[in-house]
Structure 1
């Protein structure tokens, strides 16, 4: 059964049967999913979910991970710890083996990465991205096994498509939540070998929009709140692309309450679309490459009110930061206010609004 653990702001159901799932073939969720059906349970109290962008453990971060994994995220971790639920995009394979993929950049990290994530206050990660299989299927299997041993939930990858598209579910303050991960970004020469199918391990591909829409529709029937974390957009383009906009609309129509993502290495716009909350790009987070626009970072915290029927995200707050030596350092005072103003201005080249009725 799921094990409850208390966070500062609430109680979260942590799926710690991943280890058994990894060896039994029953999927990443296994018995940890709470299937109460019919749109899931709805609590009476608002709750918060915090999001960060791209995370890997390369370069100077690798040294820090080896010597002091509990300090890797630095002071920005306070934003995750005070939220009821928190997640990032884990843009690396968790393996010490495998064969590097034929691409320019390959990332991997040891299983200690899960300790660093948990200590920082994170509850779940997506590994559906263009680095999740950097060390091949063997590296993917290692990632799944490490996730299982650590009891740390991962979405967006699996031993087959059913697992890769399957949501992680948890209950926060009485409300059942489903979290799905998928990627719209894959190297052209690797799309076929990396995409999970009914018979092959891989990542959940958002290039197959109907399959992702179906996953959201199914999750909508089982949970009261549905969150989709996507890897999408164009590198160094702060404007939402047509492909992003189209997919966001499809997922909003399918029943997603919040759609957040990363990949561009720069911040993109966040706001309301069709009454749902969409954040197109959270930028780099714990990431070795950051200067100028690629160093602009932060934590997005969404407040959900399960009693609101059409627009369950009632508030979005942005805690700005700047990546320094691979770690996002929180901004304060005038610098923070200026960064928030710039973040608000990103909506000028996106289809999202400041409020649900705007």
Structure 2
């Protein structure tokens, strides 16, 4: 069969997009949520508050960009929300093992071609806390075994808890992720690393992953020229520049962002505007979390936006909407990206399935808080503008 050009995917930024940056970081060379409800603060304000699993053969480190592809197959990418392994989760993992939280989602995650989760915790044995925080999350390195065994491939460290135990704890986190065989994005040894994508070839296509945080307790967490830290999204320019740059030699650019007002089930207008700007800069999908509850879905220029996919693994104090969770599927076809969502629930330190009544209720609820979409079972469909 003759080669087929991609009809969908990362496009060159238009004339209104931010200018591209030129820094590239070699892949794999990096050694590099609280439950209080308050709006995203200015970074100057204090906010309120490994067994060896078999790697997925379909994903590999790229050797060259791909702009033409033969025999296109769908690519299934899973996104999961905020995960931490402290408090009661730590106790459960210590007693029952690192695989315990993921027993019920492992099969679904492993089926995907690639899986991504937000790591909402420091992974360290350090004890010096950042006193800007009301809650400091610390997880044992062994916890990462569970994520890896469950089928996850990459985590975001762009959030408001990855540096809870200061720079030393953050560096430990990056080292522990390397040791666990988990890729990470959204932070690094310096600003260049923090804003650089991780690239993966999946079924012959180059997919790039970026992550940013719009909720950070102090500017001390911002990655600097020679300072470890996270990729902050208060300033849009480095975010849009990074997307435009990474788009140049990618088939798809996927963006995760930590943002929003905690416990609100709808995004702010500035978030909807920001999502559009990121797509205009070249992003092919936007996935958010941070607010500890699910928010709705939207399509812009036929590209999917999931404003918040909620908590994924949190201690047993979460209940109700804070315990509603699920797995977001972004399925890449040659001419479109489909979006679907499989509901789960956080219960007794596990992610568990619920009955059909719960699932159907979630679909109706998610449709009610989304924008111009209908839920066809798990599938998120754009509404027909003629109707």
**Alpha-carbon distance between aligned partners in 2 of 1:227 and 1:292, rounded to the nearest angstrom:** 30
Deviates more, 1:43-52 or 1:229-238: 43-52
Corresponding residue of 2:367: 344
Confirm or deny that 1:166 pairs with 2:196: yes
Conserved 8 A contact 1:35-1:222: no
Query: Secondary structure of the equivalent of 1:75?
Result: coil
Corresponding residue of 1:280: 307
Confirm or deny that 1:22 pairs with 2:51: no
Corresponding residue of 1:45: 73
Conserved 8 A contact 2:372-2:383: no
Question: Which whole-Å deviations, capped at 9, do the CAs of 1:239-262 have from their partners, x for residues lacking one?
Answer: 111231121011110111111010
Question: Which whole-Å deviations, capped at 9, do the CAs of 1:60-83 have from their partners, x for residues lacking one?
Answer: 210222231122223023221111
Question: Which of structures 1 and 2 has the bigger CA Rg?
Answer: 2
* 1:184-263 superposed matches below 5 A: 184-187=214-217, 190=218, 192-263=219-290
> Measured at CA, do residues 301 and 101 of structure 1 come closer, stay the same or move farther in structure 2, by a change above 3 Å?
same
Q: When you count helix as a share of all residues, which structure comes out higher?
A: 1
> Measured at CA, do residues 206 and 156 of structure 1 come closer, stay the same or move farther in structure 2, by a change above 3 Å?
same
Conserved 8 A contact 2:296-2:370: yes
Conserved 8 A contact 1:284-1:295: yes
**Alpha-carbon distance between aligned partners in 2 of 1:243 and 1:98, rounded to the nearest angstrom:** 37
**Alpha-carbon distance between aligned partners in 1 of 2:69 and 2:247, rounded to the nearest angstrom:** 11
Query: Secondary structure of the equivalent of 2:72?
Result: coil
* 1:66-77 superposed matches below 5 A: 66-67=94-95, 68-77=97-106
**Alpha-carbon distance between aligned partners in 2 of 1:42 and 1:224, rounded to the nearest angstrom:** 14
Query: Secondary structure of the equivalent of 1:261?
Result: strand
The structure 1 segments of at least 4 consecutive aligned residues displaced by more than 4 Å after TM superposition are: 38-43
**Alpha-carbon distance between aligned partners in 2 of 1:36 and 1:130, rounded to the nearest angstrom:** 34
Confirm or deny that 1:80 pairs with 2:109: yes
Displacement, 1:40?
A: 8.1
**Alpha-carbon distance between aligned partners in 2 of 1:42 and 1:157, rounded to the nearest angstrom:** 34
**Alpha-carbon distance between aligned partners in 1 of 2:278 and 2:371, rounded to the nearest angstrom:** 22
**Alpha-carbon distance between aligned partners in 2 of 1:22 and 1:43, rounded to the nearest angstrom:** 36
Query: Secondary structure of the equivalent of 1:141?
Result: helix
1:295 equivalent among 314, 319, 323: 323
Aligned length: 324
**Alpha-carbon distance between aligned partners in 2 of 1:182 and 1:39, rounded to the nearest angstrom:** 26
Query: Secondary structure of the equivalent of 2:311?
Result: coil
**Alpha-carbon distance between aligned partners in 2 of 1:153 and 1:49, rounded to the nearest angstrom:** 15
**Alpha-carbon distance between aligned partners in 1 of 2:30 and 2:88, rounded to the nearest angstrom:** 34
Query: Secondary structure of the equivalent of 2:99?
Result: helix
**Alpha-carbon distance between aligned partners in 2 of 1:262 and 1:329, rounded to the nearest angstrom:** 20
Displacement, 1:324?
A: 0.8
Corresponding residue of 2:171: 141
Q: CA RMSD, aligned part only?
A: 2.3
**Alpha-carbon distance between aligned partners in 2 of 1:90 and 1:120, rounded to the nearest angstrom:** 14
Show structure 2 runs of 5+ residues with no match: 1-26, 33-59, 374-379
Conserved 8 A contact 1:42-1:175: no
Query: Secondary structure of the equivalent of 1:122?
Result: coil
> Measured at CA, do residues 175 and 101 of structure 1 come closer, stay the same or move farther in structure 2, by a change above 3 Å?
same
Conserved 8 A contact 2:211-2:257: yes
Query: Secondary structure of the equivalent of 1:22?
Result: coil
State TM-score, norm by structure 1.
Answer: 0.85
Deviates more, 1:173-182 or 1:59-68: 59-68
